[in-house]
Amino acid sequence: SHERICRYIARKSDSVVVSVGYGLSPEHKYPGQTLDCLSATVHFLKTAENYGVDPARVIVCGDSVGGTFTASVCQELVKRGDIPKIRAQVLIYPFLQALNFNLPSHQKNAFTAFLSRERTVHFILKYLNKDCSMKEAILAGAHVPESINLKYRKWINPDLIPEIFKLGYKPPLPTSFLPQVHEETKELFETRVSPLLAEDAVFCCLPDACIITCEHDVLRDDGLLYKKRLEDNNIKVTWHHMEEGFH
């Protein structure tokens, strides 16, 4: 589905572009998609010179859930000392956390066409091969115990969103924690699904980033929060916000 875009990028940037044909859900189970992208990236870094590419100038890029895979791959490669380092990461309206679906952008764009707030959670549950009847509980935040909320509020919190993006925002009503939903959806708290939850020890080693966010996108604030985390860890970020953009 992205072949034409990849060809366009290759032509306009005079670059070699590799499009990873990762296995799709539900036939291919989580985390197979991320592992496919990781394997392809490692292979290319090891063989880049065969394609006329400088291995020190490799960029990983993805949009939407591809942005999730991009962030995850870059985080996992932080641990690797046997291959060249990724030069930069490009995250285009990425999905980066599954703890809080009541951020300002979730409220503002709850019913936006194509990717509504409800469809976002529906797609995540389908991706993880989970029962979609848990959707409403997750939207309300009932899958997150107080201990996890307290641990990660320093990174995922509407107070961290710039005021210009919080017009009309209303704090959500308190919800009761549902242990059974939490047990069924523990994957949501893994960094392969929620890269925003990675520790600072990982963030401080990440490559430079370009982040693209869209105003009319339910995932806008994921990108804003990731931008802040990178900058807080002294990682160079180039940010483009599309005022009229949709997911």
Question: Which residues carry out catalysis?
Answer: 64, 217, 247
Angle between helices 65-77 and 32-47 (to 10 degrees): 60
Query: Could you tell me the two tokens for 87?
Result: 């030069």
DSSP tally for the chain: helices H, then strands E: 10, 4
Query: Could you tell me the two tokens for 214?
Result: 């869209």
DSSP 3-state of 59: strand
Please state, in angstroms and rounded to a whole number, the distance separating the CA atoms of residues 192 and 211: 18
Query: Residue 39: how many CB atoms within 10 A of its CB?
Result: 13
The amino acid sitting at 23 is G
Residue 165 to residues 28, 53, 212: CA-CA distances in angstroms?
A: 37, 40, 15
Please state, in angstroms and rounded to a whole number, the distance separating the CA atoms of residues 205 and 184: 32
**DSSP tag of 28:** S
- For residue 174, how many C-alpha atoms fall within 13 Å in the half-sphere facing its CB? 3
Which H or E run contains 47? helix 32-47
